[in-house]
Amino acid sequence: MRTPDFSRLEALVAKRRALSDGGVGGEAPDREALAGAVVSVSEMPGGASTRRYFRVALPNKTAVAMFVPEGGKPEEIAKESARHRWPFLEVRDLLHASGVDVPALYAEDQDNGWLLLEDLGDDTLANYLAKNEPARERLYRRAVTDLARAQTRLAKLPAESIIATRAFDNDLLRWEIDHFREWGLEARGHHLSPEDRKTFDEIAGRLASRIASWPRGFVHRDYQSRNLMVRPKNETTTPESLCWIDFQDALLGPRVYDLVALLNDSYQTFDRAFVEGRLNEYAAAMEIENRDEIIEQFDYVTVQRKLKDAGRFVFIERMKGNDSFLRFVTPTVRKVRDALGRLSSRDTDMKALQSLLKRTLPDEFG
């Protein structure tokens, strides 16, 4: 894996191939503000991906340099062919054109792995709410209505769009559930008996098939509190707004998938009334009459998605040496437990999975 060449970054800043748009709500690239040599470059905290971020200080402002060592390779498992333009750039352009607030793109050098982006500061939604708890409901309402608006505007995608070429099909959904078995169970020493393994595999197959059969639309894939940046109020006291990041793995999938990522976020805790309130707001924004169906689909995808997340946190620690996500395994498993509790009375598969996981993970599931 290649390492960042900072001389290439300095050359990119010097060349200033500034683009014409600034993202919705973002600053338009200001050639004068971007002028001048780089004063300093400091690495920013990263997440679970191989991407690295650096805050670039210029004489009159700061920018963020994103270094992508593996270019257009997807961060998550996906089925797609290589493309000339990085998925991050393709999806960013499409979102911007659809009225979604995304970071301004100042310059790009795909050959050497660099993008120069708007500096959005350090206030992810998660960070912001840690300091501004009263804003929680207001900002989550905003996140839900922003998502509904984006789904509506992206209902018809350009034929050549990378998003239109990949989807949460049966294979991908099943891979994610198996990812939990491999890493959330077996890698931690929780081996299923032959009978339980057969039961788990059969339920996983039927759950993946159920979700894959639903209508598909735009899915961000990781629409949660660490991937939404809060733009502060401006001089006219406009309420805070949210800017989307980490959208390069967007694909087609069930309409509730991003709602699960947002409202059953492993890094946040909400009571059920809060969750159902936001689901009702989503249904109203999308003019969906059958709200019970939305809630049921939300619970099924919670089982699938949060099993995958629990396994992924262990995978990141074992394969990437990053143990910072391990503390979220138990809260994530308990979100699965709660969803199974709601589904088990009317679905024998969910009742059987509930029993299997309770036997296998008694401390986390109990």
The reported pLDDT for the residue numbered 72 is 57
CA angle 33, 100, 240 (to 5 degrees): 70
Neighbours of 136 (CB within 10 A): 15
Question: Which pLDDT score is estimated for 12?
Answer: 86
Quick one: pLDDT at residue 232? 85
Per the DSSP assignment, residues forming a β-bridge with 124 are: 229
Q: Are 301 and 263 in contact (CB under 8 A)?
A: no
With a pLDDT cut of 90, the percent of the chain lying above it is: 76
DSSP of 95-138? HHHTT-----EEEEEGGGTEEEEE---S-BHHHHHHH-GGGHHH
Q: Which helix (H) or strand (E) holds 53?
A: strand 52-57
pLDDT in tens, 258-297: 999 999 999 999 999 999 999 999 999 999 999 999 999 9
Question: How far does Cα 124 stand from its chain's mean position?
Answer: 13
**Coil, strand or helix: which one is 253?**
strand
Average pLDDT on 90-95 reads 97
Query: What residue type is assigned to position 182 of the chain?
Result: E
Q: Is the pLDDT of residue 251 over 60?
A: yes
Q: How does pLDDT run across 301-325, given as a tens digit for each residue?
A: 999 999 999 999 999 999 999 999 9
CB contact at 8 A, 87 and 74: yes
pLDDT digits (tens, 9 = 90+) for 11-47: 888 876 444 445 444 445 555 556 567 778 899 887 6
pLDDT tens-digit profile of 186-217? 999 999 999 999 999 999 999 999 999 999 99
Cα dihedral 133→365→273→227 (10° resolution): 50
- Predicted confidence band of residue 61 (pLDDT cuts 50, 70, 90): confident
- Contacts of residue 164, defined as CB under 8 A and 6 or more positions apart, other chains included, come to 157, 158, 252
pTM: 0.91
User: Torsion-angle region of residue 275: left (phi > 0), alpha (psi -120 to 50) or beta?
Assistant: alpha
CA distances (Å), origin 189, targets 4, 31, 181, 312, 355: 38, 56, 11, 16, 19
User: What digits encode the pLDDT tens for the residues 117-138?
Assistant: 999 999 999 999 999 999 999 9
Q: How far apart are CA 18 and CA 7, in angstroms?
A: 18
Residue 86: closest CA among 51, 39, 135: 51
> DSSP string spanning 8-32?
HHHHHHHHT---S---TTSPPP-TT
Q: Residue 60 — very low, low, confident or very high, per pLDDT cuts 50/70/90?
A: confident
Tokens of 313: 């946190």
Asked whether residue 364 carries a pLDDT value surpassing 60, the answer given is yes
Beta carbons of 163 and 251 less than 8 angstroms apart = yes
